[in-house]
Amino acid sequence: MSALDWYLQINLKARHMRLLVTIDTYRNLTQVADVTHVTVPAVSKSLAELERGLGLTLFSRTSQGLVPTPYGDCLIRHARSMLTILHQARDELKALSSGTEGKVRIGMLPASASVLLPQALSLLKQRSPGTNVVVNEGTTASLLPELWQGHLDLVVGRLPPPDTLGSFEEMELLEEPVTLMTGRHHPLARRRTLAWSDLLPYPWILPPPGSILRDPLERALEAHDVPLTNNYIETLSIHVARAQLQISDFIAVMADTPASDSTQPLHTLPLSLPRLLRPAGVLWNRNRGLTPSAQLMVSCLEEAAQRMLTGHGASPRTVPSKTLPIG
């Protein structure tokens, strides 16, 4: 066994990993000492001992502070992953010792999971009241890195296009057509037939740049000579969009399932869009696997999708999961 093997397998401790991550975060020994409540010499000594034990230089001392070397970058990346796993193990052990059954951390793409996820959560709580859930809303760009790093167990919403790096497991759950929506009072809502040019005078509620829907939507509208004007609101919030449609003459693009709500009815314009997006579904990191609680959540998502009314424009999908390349 080499000295490096021996140190990694026998002597590397969780405190070393926390030290690496903290130094990488602050890049300054004084700040590291402040947040870890030790002295600067103690931090410097711990880092020197770690580098000596590994036989590698992990940080370069520069005028801008401590900068990770390639060895440091490698070890820091794995240290973050290992600390995440330790935190998850701690949470599961605490849950078991307190009588609860676990915790599931879910990232939600709000515009496409606002109906599916609440129904699945209701099923989860019926089956396992002691399984707790943390839900964070966000965009694909913000949630997928969290899923990759292990900070999330699942991401639920519109499945992203398979055109970037990495590997996640996906399961398609629900096919939701994308439609043009207005409030019931909108001038266009009173007309049985429409031309695309009839949309030109009205403002829009749009998904923000970088979201899954924005680029294909712009291309579809441009194909019908309906350029997006400077009069628009950008949001991923289905609640903001619905409320705005109720009180104004805006036009929004929505999946038909969340748009079909009897408490705040909207009008679907009789203009057909092409299939702009993939189905709604669930993603997880296949390299990390799923905890029992996350497996139960996936099962509840499948059942909720099956229960969704096809009359709302959503078609349940029962397809086998497959590996999807995503960064």
The model's pLDDT over 66-106, given as tens digits with 9 standing for 90+, comes to 999 999 999 998 888 888 778 777 777 776 665 556 789 99
Distance CA 140, CA 215 (A): 14
Higher-pLDDT residue of 88 and 325 is: 88
CATH for the 100-175+279-324 domain, from 3.40.190.10, 3.90.1200.10, 3.60.150.10, 3.40.50.300: 3.40.190.10
Domain 3-82 fold: Arc Repressor Mutant, subunit A (1.10.10)
259 falls in which pLDDT band (50, 70, 90)?
low
Q: Is the pLDDT of residue 9 over 70?
A: yes
Q: What is residue 163's predicted lDDT score, i.e. its pLDDT?
A: 65
Going by C-beta distance under 8 Å and a sequence separation of 6 or more, which residues neighbour residue 304? 116, 119, 120, 122, 123
Going by C-beta distance under 8 Å and a sequence separation of 6 or more, which residues neighbour residue 49? none
Q: What is residue 164's predicted lDDT score, i.e. its pLDDT?
A: 53
Q: Is the pLDDT of residue 260 over 70?
A: no
8 falls in which pLDDT band (50, 70, 90)?
confident
CB 88 within 8 A of CB 134: no
CB 216 within 8 A of CB 276: yes
Higher-pLDDT residue of 220 and 2 is: 220
249 falls in which pLDDT band (50, 70, 90)?
very high
Q: Which amino acid is at 23?
A: I
60 falls in which pLDDT band (50, 70, 90)?
very high
Task: Single out the residue of 272, 280, 317, 270 nearest to residue 112, CA to CA.
Answer: 280
Distance CA 145, CA 153 (A): 12
Task: Single out the residue of 72, 43, 45 nearest to residue 57, CA to CA.
Answer: 72
252 falls in which pLDDT band (50, 70, 90)?
very high
Task: Single out the residue of 135, 291, 269 nearest to residue 202, CA to CA.
Answer: 269
First to last CA, the chain: 35
- The mean of the pLDDT values for the chain is 84
| Rounded average pLDDT over 125-150 | 89
Indicate if 178-268 has the same CATH topology as 100-175+279-324.
Answer: yes
Q: Is the pLDDT of residue 166 over 70?
A: no
Task: Give the count of alpha carbons within 13 A of 211, CB side only.
Answer: 23
323 falls in which pLDDT band (50, 70, 90)?
very low
Q: What is residue 232's predicted lDDT score, i.e. its pLDDT?
A: 94
Pairing outcome for strands 178-183 and 251-255 = antiparallel
| Rounded average pLDDT over 46-54 | 92
pTM of the model: 0.62
Q: Is the pLDDT of residue 289 over 70?
A: yes
Strand partners, 281: 157, 172
* Domain parsing of the chain, residue ranges: 3-82, 100-175+279-324, 178-268
| Percentage of the residues of the chain whose pLDDT score is greater than 90 | 46
Distance CA 298, CA 313 (A): 22
Q: What is residue 98's predicted lDDT score, i.e. its pLDDT?
A: 57
Domain 178-268 fold: D-Maltodextrin-Binding Protein; domain 2 (3.40.190)
Q: What is residue 320's predicted lDDT score, i.e. its pLDDT?
A: 43
209 falls in which pLDDT band (50, 70, 90)?
confident
| Rounded average pLDDT over 108-115 | 76
Ranked by mean pLDDT, the top range of 36-50, 77-91, 105-119 is 36-50
| Rounded average pLDDT over 182-187 | 94
